[in-house]
Amino acid sequence: MKKTKLSLLLACGMALTATGTMAQGPHSTSLKQMEKLDRGLVVIPNGTLGRGNFISWRMLGTDDKNVGFELYRNGSLIAGGTSGNPLDGGTCYVDTTGTANDSYSLKAYATDMSGTTVVGTAEDVRPWSGYYKKLQLQAPDPTVNNNDTLYYPNDCSVGDVDGDGQYEIIVKWDPQGKGPSKDNSQKGKTCNVVLDCYKLDGTRLWSINLGPNIRAGAHYTQFLVYDFDGDGKAEVMCKTAPGSKDGQGKYVTLAADDDAIKNADNAKSYRNSNGYVNDGPEYLTVFNGATGAAVNTVFYNPNRAGGLGGAPSHPSKSFWGDNYGGRADRYLATVAYLAGKDENPSAVFVRGYYTRSYFWAVDFDGSKLKTRWLHASTDKNTVTVTDADGHTTTTKHSQSTSGKGSATAFGNGNHNLSCADVDGDGKDEIIMGSCAIDDNGSLLYATGMGHGDAIHLGDLNPDRPGLEVFEVHEEKNMPYGWDVHDAATGEILFSAAGSSDNGRGMAADVMASDRGYEFWSSNDRSLRSAATGEVVSTKSLSQCFRLYWNGDLQDELFDGKYSTSTGKCSPQVVSLNSNGTQTVTEKINGYYFTDHQHLGTPQTCNTTKATPCLIADLFGDWREEIVMWDWSDKTSLDIYSTTIPTDYRIPTLMHDHTYRMGVAWQQTAYNQPAHLGYYLPDYAAEFTPAGISAVTTENGTETDGNAYNVAGQRVGKAFKGLVIVGGKKVIRR
């Protein structure tokens, strides 16, 4: 994860750092960490033009940057190769004469001294039937819960469960009406949590019902979808209990080796009169991703009393800070490569963050689940780590990096987390707000800034070594406010106090004129530079999700306008102009989301939070897809993909390790967007357009005062990064 300042863009198009090593980019992800994906060829009717088709496809992380493409319509070459229409820019094409009845194919090829080799194909892909893809789902049967309830699609995740190179979508259904999902602070019995798996053609592969002893709500069921055993097919892993049934309709207890689990009473409900589950066994189950069958079930660690296995009751108030499960039943989860980037990944489950905080790392070998380690921050100074053999090590920590608050993960957690190799050792660390856990379960650091509702981890400042974290806080003793800190050391780079709960925050690269990311929050609406901490714009922006959409190298923002009277939330995608003074609402295939005739009735999740079901690079080129549920029938997903052409050739974002981990944890609790582990404008600068050559500069000055960014916008002398001066590319430092 090491990076240094760029000094010169050579004519060959390779960005070098001052030390001569490659700048951070997609190539930093190991082959082991790249899923075997197909070309993701997608054909969408072009609503922007009102005719023709928009076609896009994946560039893979394994591709040479000069990989060639040939696009065929009905068997005839129309672009690339000898067609006369070169495909040397972005991996997309506008076929102005294409029709709904056409079929498209793609060939990818590499050329070296030995000749030309085909390195990938996609065959016979037909256009979508409309301007977006509607995925019809099968809603859970309300009679299963002996209750007249409604289910709406909520959080989603993706994985290739059958090894065909295409993602399947796993949907978590949210009960509404009678027995609705609850926050931990709310009393009431909820209906069962249901997980379904769908192929992108709408075929349902399985349905898992977690039963009455798993409460429904954002903080309870964190499900991980990933290939944990390295067989090329994703598994699903989540917390279960007596009464949970797998995708084959069998109790998950049958997949256990422990007799205490096998002999559990699956007919018993452990819910109390207030709807909380404060008694009874707690399990972790790994499911076969293709069939939904439970493969192995073990006791969930730690249990609600902080111990291992068994079925203890909730302890006294002094243990967690309450006696009803408000703190004990706060869960998070992420995938992490703890053994190294060339080994199989682990699942990491978090229990608690307001006070006590536990991190449980679990490995799956294809048949059995096994503990790697268990981290316990039991107070502000004490950390205990138990290894796979049951050996325990206790350490004392005297001071946080800020000199304030807790010196451990105790009280330093968030409603969300992130994961990346932040210290450059080839192994992942887990960043949970104001603390970080190393790959061996030890405490990496704690900033002491306390609990928060939002976190963003990425290359926020590309001219500073390593990654950075932006976080907002709701702690009175900080007080409130926000901070930016070094992801590897916890060093506080910038921070500010606030006057009240700073409940939302965003970090994204939204201004082309400002190098690096900008960040802002609900208590501090001004946009600040992640490089300097200074205000660069006073334009107020949303703090929901980021995404790539319109074809430039900056982030767009996704948000929704929620109506308390109707319960509806109207989504929108917004971009900011280069100098940060004006926002633009982006069109979705030629229309706005308010055009229900052409774009359906998409809805966001979680009321005012206005989160999507999922935003990720699911297919097509490197821009991201938006997945939402549809208000009209409440039993379908609406998937939107951009039809705006781009000349930037970027590998699929899913082949960047930090981003892919982000998609895996995006479904967790207070959903946050995934971020790249590299700075996209610097990576894009490696691809040098014809006619633009490199120039050596003296003392960082240029001979021509007219400088432009890569989007063709004129910039001032203060602009840092890649600029074009007199037809030549220069990197300003």
Domain count, the chain: 2
Token output for 495: 């921070």
Task: Inform me whether the pLDDT recorded for 146 exceeds 70.
Answer: no
pLDDT attached to residue 149: 74
Residue 696 falls inside a structural domain? yes
Q: What is the mean pLDDT of residues 435-453?
A: 98
Higher per-residue pLDDT: 343 or 144: 343
Residue 717 falls inside a structural domain? yes
The span from the CA of 571 to the CA of 568, in Å, is: 10
Token output for 451: 């609990």
Residue 701 falls inside a structural domain? yes
- 3-state secondary structure string, 356-403? CEEEEEEEECCCCEEEEEEEEECCCCEEEEEECCCCEEEEECCCCCCC
Task: Inform me whether the pLDDT recorded for 160 exceeds 60.
Answer: yes
Token output for 112: 């070296």
CATH code: domain of residue 46: 2.60.40.10
The DSSP output letter for 409 is S
pLDDT attached to residue 7: 28
Residue 622 falls inside a structural domain? no
Q: Put the strands of the sheet holding 721-725 in their side by side order.
A: 693-694, 728-732, 721-725, 707-708, 714-715
Q: Which domain holds residue 76?
A: 34-130
Segment 455-499, tens digit of pLDDT: 999 999 999 999 999 999 988 766 789 999 999 999 999 999 988
Residue 729 falls inside a structural domain? yes
690 Cβ contact list (under 8 Å, min separation 6): none
The span from the CA of 374 to the CA of 440, in Å, is: 9
Task: Inform me whether the pLDDT recorded for 25 exceeds 90.
Answer: no
pLDDT attached to residue 696: 35
Segment 496-525, tens digit of pLDDT: 998 888 999 999 999 999 999 999 999 888
277 neighbors 314 (Cβ within 8 angstroms): no
This prediction has a pTM of: 0.91
Give the residue from 130, 149, 170 where a domain finishes: 130
Give the residue from 99, 130, 161 where a domain finishes: 130
Task: Inform me whether the pLDDT recorded for 3 exceeds 50.
Answer: no
Task: Inform me whether the pLDDT recorded for 20 exceeds 60.
Answer: no
Q: What is the mean pLDDT of residues 244-260?
A: 99
Task: Inform me whether the pLDDT recorded for 191 exceeds 60.
Answer: yes
Residue 166 falls inside a structural domain? no
Token output for 190: 């909820």
Task: Inform me whether the pLDDT recorded for 181 exceeds 50.
Answer: yes
Higher per-residue pLDDT: 709 or 204: 204
Band (pLDDT 50/70/90 cuts) for residue 724 is low
pLDDT attached to residue 708: 55
Give the residue from 130, 160, 189 where a domain finishes: 130
Q: What is the mean pLDDT of residues 18-37?
A: 67
Segment 554-601, tens digit of pLDDT: 999 999 988 888 888 889 999 999 889 999 999 999 999 999 999 999
Task: Inform me whether the pLDDT recorded for 723 exceeds 70.
Answer: no
Which segment, 228-237, 311-320, 517-526, 682-691, is predicted with the most confidence on average? 228-237
Segment 377-410, tens digit of pLDDT: 999 999 999 999 999 999 999 999 999 999 999 9
pLDDT attached to residue 709: 57
Band (pLDDT 50/70/90 cuts) for residue 311 is confident
Q: Put the strands of the sheet holding 418-420 in their side by side order.
A: 418-420, 429-431, 435-437, 443-446
Band (pLDDT 50/70/90 cuts) for residue 18 is very low
Among 613, 618, 687, smallest CA distance to 654 is for: 618
Q: What is the mean pLDDT of residues 105-120?
A: 84
Task: Inform me whether the pLDDT recorded for 4 exceeds 70.
Answer: no
Residue 64 falls inside a structural domain? yes
Share above pLDDT 90 across residues of the chain, in percent, rounded to a whole number: 80
The span from the CA of 426 to the CA of 28, in Å, is: 10
Segment 317-375, tens digit of pLDDT: 999 999 999 999 999 999 999 999 999 999 999 999 999 999 999 999 999 999 999 99
pLDDT averaged over every residue in the chain: 90
pLDDT attached to residue 8: 26
Per residue in 470-479, is it b (16+ CB within 10 Å) or e — as a string? bbbbbbeebe
Band (pLDDT 50/70/90 cuts) for residue 209 is very high
pLDDT attached to residue 686: 75
Residue 347 falls inside a structural domain? no
pLDDT attached to residue 718: 67
